[in-house]
């Protein structure tokens, strides 16, 4: 601890990251800085899904207010299983889709008419090393496949077909399933990413 404090105080002082002052703008220039907030998660139970929907809604209310062009996407998998489909899978997926649809009915869509909230769910694939059916590469795989879909909507991924994959995305903010974005932090992150010296 002593060495860490010494290094941070004298040799590597803390510096603020340069960023654009987007938090002072009433309307985020959403086309220029189109951003998607993604949350990788597992569909484990009805309570798990309701908790996840509550967090997604809270993140929107803290950073959306209807004027930001932020889109919130849940990237979901089922839990590992001994076979490709098990009892209860479809019910959990339907509950998540219905919950996302309800959020879209409560809050305004993006300026181009795209849904504000989206769920992208993957089928299980056989993993020879793990000897089970699971989402390919788990969390890392979800993020990789989603990024590939952003670059090419026709990319052959393990996601079920879904309409509304955002196009022209500039930035992706990734949150853990239990992470809440503090008020206004999304604009600060986008401002830092958008600053010319941080590209």
> Alpha-carbon distance 180 to 57, whole Å?
10
pLDDT of residue 170: 92
In percent, the amount of the chain with pLDDT more than 70 equals 95
Residue 12 — pLDDT band, cuts 50, 70, 90?
confident
CA distance 44 to 73: 18
pLDDT digits (tens, 9 = 90+) for 102-149: 999 999 888 888 899 999 999 999 999 999 999 999 999 999 999 999
Residue 75 contacts residue 143 (beta carbons within 8 Å): yes
- CA–CA gap between residue 132 and residue 134 (Å, rounded): 6
This prediction's pTM? 0.88
Q: Distance between CA 15 and CA 110 in Å, rounded?
A: 35
Query: Residue 72: what pLDDT?
Result: 96
Question: In terms of residues, how long is the chain?
Answer: 199
Assign 66 a pLDDT band (cuts: 50, 70, 90).
Answer: low
Mean pLDDT of the region 64-73:
76
Segments in 41-137 forming alpha helices (H): 46-63, 89-106
Q: pLDDT confidence of 160, banded at 50, 70, 90?
A: very high
Write down the pLDDT at residue 199: 78
Q: Are 82 and 129 in contact (CB under 8 A)?
A: no
pLDDT tens-digit series, residues 75-87 = 999 999 999 999 9
Mean pLDDT of the chain: 90
pLDDT in tens, 169-199: 999 999 999 999 999 888 888 889 888 888 7
- Give the pLDDT confidence of 17-47 residue by residue, as tens digits: 888 887 666 566 777 889 999 999 999 999 9
Beta partners for residue 173, in sequence order: 37
């Amino acid at each position: 601890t002593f060495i860490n404090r010494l290094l941070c105080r004298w040799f590597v002082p803390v510096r603020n990251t340069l960023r654009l002052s987007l938090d002072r703008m009433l309307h985020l220039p959403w086309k220029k800085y189109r951003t998607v907030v993604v949350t990788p998660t597992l569909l484990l139970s009805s309570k798990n899904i309701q908790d996840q929907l509550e967090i997604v809604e809270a993140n929107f209310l803290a950073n959306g207010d209807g004027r930001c062009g932020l889109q919130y996407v849940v990237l979901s998998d089922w839990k590992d299983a001994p076979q490709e489909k098990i009892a209860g899978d479809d019910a959990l997926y339907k509950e998540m889709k219905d919950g996302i649809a309800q959020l879209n009915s409560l809050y305004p869509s993006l300026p181009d008419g795209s849904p504000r909230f989206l769920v992208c769910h993957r089928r299980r694939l056989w993993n020879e090393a793990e000897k089970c059916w699971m989402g390919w590469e788990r969390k890392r795989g979800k993020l990789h496949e989603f990024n590939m879909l952003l670059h090419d909507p026709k990319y052959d991924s393990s996601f079920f077909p879904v309409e509304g994959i955002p196009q022209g995305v500039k930035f992706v903010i990734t949150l853990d399933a239990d992470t809440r974005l503090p008020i206004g932090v999304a604009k600060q992150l986008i401002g830092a990413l958008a600053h010319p010296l941080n590209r």
